[in-house]
Amino acid sequence: MSWTAHILTLFPEMFPGPLGHSIAGKALNNGMWSLKTYNIRDFSQSRHNAVDDTPFGGGPGMVLKADVVHRALEHVSGQLTNPKYIYLSPRGKPLTQEKLDSLAAEQNVVVLCGHYEGIDERVLEEWPLEEVSIGDYVLSGGEVAAMVLVDGVVRLLDDVIGKADSLEEESFRKNLLEYPQYTKPQLWNDRKVPDVLLSGHHRLISQWRLEQAETLTKQRRPDLWERYCHSKE
């Protein structure tokens, strides 16, 4: 069986969306990974299919009900052996390349997408859900974040991207941002491609690229730069 993302959402029609295109979409069509969506609303047992309610203690917004999400999780987990459970929320641990690597090594990843003001905390205690954030900003729901996570995993799966070394070389594995790239023509809008890249001198090219990557990282991402310096020690 191929790597499978099981998405629990109130908006299953959003999927595959961008995941149906480009690299992820081709791999999906080729059976290199699978996508299953589950509508959380199908697990409501109330008369009007309610999935949320007002928060105890007051405050704005609505909270996803524990029993509804619990039934959805039971339904999915009943079909799987030892899946990994992820809950997407801005409160989670930041998503990293390392986390994507570890998710790519799983067989089944269950992704719970939150909405409204959140989810009844007791479901998060009841299930081994790892709370993951894709960044320090708030989205209107977990679906776009789920797409980010799944896209990031799928490109790591065997044979999805041609050259394995293009993955090894990637910036966040080395704690360095990517160096600038150029293609034809050599002169465009009075702008020249750096001479060294046309020199055919591989050692000088590598050296130039490393310098560029280091300068960019130092300027834009002091946090990454610090990790890079430590990892070199």
Per CB under 6 A, residues contacting ligand ADE are 88-90, 114, 133-135, 137-139, 142, 145
Cα(204)–Cα(154) distance, rounded to whole angstroms? 34
117 and 143 in contact (C-beta within 8 Å)? no
Tell the burial category of 230 from Cβ atoms under 10 Å away from its Cβ (0-12, 13-18, 19+): exposed
Reduce the DSSP state of residue 164 to 3 states and report it: helix
- Please, which residue, 83 or 114, has the CB nearer to ligand ADE? 114
Minimum separation from the CB atom of position 169 to ligand ADE (A): 27
Minimum separation from the CB atom of position 63 to ligand ADE (A): 14
- Please, which residue, 145 or 176, has the CB nearer to ligand ADE? 145
- Please, which residue, 83 or 142, has the CB nearer to ligand ADE? 142
- Please, which residue, 63 or 160, has the CB nearer to ligand ADE? 63
Sole residue written with tokens 């996508």: 35
Minimum separation from the CB atom of position 153 to ligand ADE (A): 15
Minimum separation from the CB atom of position 31 to ligand ADE (A): 28
**Element of type H or E holding 132:** strand 129-133
